[in-house]
């Protein structure tokens, strides 16, 4: 037990094996409170499995995950979410048959018990929170339209807003700019940057320009383990990283 008390999240010697295939192999990673961290890696490096382990979707074969000093292993997904771990999925996963407002209501409502939802009206401060989130993502005019009718970029933003509405201490953001225009990508980068400090954010992406714009520490995953950690400049000059991921400069 070498629990680092400064860290909000720490993964210790995590291995995940899918029928003999090691998706994660002795992975160690720790995050300080308020940190913004980018995670990159080639396809199959274990990026999504890494998120699955933290959020409780996949049980590691070996190792432990500590969040705020508590082990997350063996906890159900919704319990981990209530502890303060929020996740945005790779492709936007909003509830398409509900309106933008209803989507946000689901995310900001607490307590999340059936009894509270069925016989109580949503609280006023939660409504204010929704108003605020609508402004952040610039969807105030679409408040009553079905989420399914939004454009791809708007869905990505709605999902980010839903993540914010959960008020998580740790945000795990999986490919937030996939399919976004350059302008939207820049806005998203700025949004995520503005969140760090108060929030701890992990961003997974392929888009190098986007990662560079985040201006954060970067962890490079390869074959289920951390290959290298540091600023964008450090890792771009790391020989191992160039070999497995970034490719030779002329590419």
Partner 1 sequence: MEFKNLKLSKKTTFVIWVLIIAFIIAAPSILPVFRLNLLGRYLSLAIVALGVDLIWGFTGLLSLGQGIFFALGGYCAAMYLQITSSSEFPNNIPEFFGLYGVDNLPFFWEPFRSPIFSLFAIWVIPALVAGILGFLVFRNRIKGVYFSILTQAALLVFFNFFNGQQKLINGTNGLKTDVTQLFGQMVGSESIQRMFFWFTALLVIAAWFFSKWVVKGRFGNILIGIRDDEPRVRFTGYNPVLFKTIIFSIAGGLAGISGALYTVQSGIVSPQFMTVPFSIEMVIWVAVGGRGTLLGAILGAVLINYAKSLVSEALPASWMFIQGGLFILVVTALPEGVLGWLQGEGPRNLLQKLGLKRKIETYPSLEIKNETEGLKNE
Task: Give 166 or 217: the residue with its C-beta nearer to partner 1.
Answer: 166
Q: Total residues at the site for partner 1 (CB under 8 A)?
A: 35
Task: Give 60 or 165: the residue with its C-beta nearer to partner 1.
Answer: 165
Q: How many CB atoms neighbour CB 52 within 10 A? A: 20
- Considering Cα of 34, then 170, then 67, then 115, what sign does the dihedral take? positive
Interaxial angle between packed helices 100-108 and 124-136, expressed in degrees from 0 to 180 and rounded to the nearest 10: 120
Of 110-118, 132-140, 195-203, 241-249, which part binds partner 1 (CB under 8 A)? 110-118
122 is a contact residue toward partner 1 (CB under 8 A): yes
DSSP 199: B
91 is a contact residue toward partner 1 (CB under 8 A): yes
133-162 positions binding partner 1, by CB under 8 A: 146, 148, 152, 162
Q: What character string, x for contact with partner 1 (CB under 8 A) and - otherwise, covers 157-196? A: -----x---x------------x-----------------
Minimum distance of partner 1 from residue 198's CB (angstroms): 20
Minimum distance of partner 1 from residue 201's CB (angstroms): 16
Minimum distance of partner 1 from residue 208's CB (angstroms): 22
31-70 positions binding partner 1, by CB under 8 A: 55, 57
- Mode of pairing for the β-strands spanning 170-174 and 200-204: parallel
215 is a contact residue toward partner 1 (CB under 8 A): no
CA distances from 107 to 11, 53, 68, 166, 229 (A): 27, 22, 22, 5, 33
CA distances from 70 to 6, 8, 9, 64, 80 (A): 13, 10, 9, 10, 10
What DSSP string runs through 115-164?
HHHHHSPPPHHHHHHHHHHHHHTT-GGGTTSBGGGS-HHHHHHHHHHHHH
Residues that bind partner 1 (CB under 8 A): 55, 57, 76-78, 81-82, 86-87, 89-93, 95-98, 102, 105-107, 109, 112-114, 117-118, 122, 146, 148, 152, 162, 166, 179
């Amino acid at each position: 037990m070498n629990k680092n008390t400064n860290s909000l999240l720490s993964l210790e010697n995590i291995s995940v094996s899918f029928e003999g295939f090691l998706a994660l192999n002795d992975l160690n990673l720790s995050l300080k409170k308020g940190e913004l961290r980018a995670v990159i890696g080639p396809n199959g490096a274990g990026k999504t499995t890494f998120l699955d382990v933290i959020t409780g979707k996949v049980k590691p074969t070996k190792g432990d995950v500590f969040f705020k000093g508590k082990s997350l292993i063996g906890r159900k997904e919704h319990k981990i979410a209530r502890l303060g771990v929020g996740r945005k999925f790779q492709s936007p996963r909003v509830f398409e048959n509900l309106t933008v407002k209803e989507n946000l209501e689901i995310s900001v409502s607490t307590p999340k018990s059936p009894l509270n939802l069925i016989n109580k009206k949503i609280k006023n401060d939660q409504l204010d929170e929704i108003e605020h989130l609508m402004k952040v993502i610039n969807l105030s005019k679409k408040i009553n339209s079905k989420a399914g009718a939004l454009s791809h970029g708007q869905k990505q933003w709605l999902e980010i807003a839903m993540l914010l509405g959960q008020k998580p201490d740790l945000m795990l953001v999986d490919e937030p700019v996939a399919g976004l225009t350059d302008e939207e990508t820049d806005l998203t980068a700025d949004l995520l940057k503005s969140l760090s400090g108060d929030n701890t954010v992990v961003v997974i992406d392929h888009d190098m320009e986007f990662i560079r714009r985040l201006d954060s520490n970067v962890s490079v995953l390869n074959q289920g383990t951390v290959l290298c950690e540091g600023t964008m400049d450090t890792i771009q000059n790391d020989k191992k990283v160039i070999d497995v991921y970034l490719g030779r400069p002329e590419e």
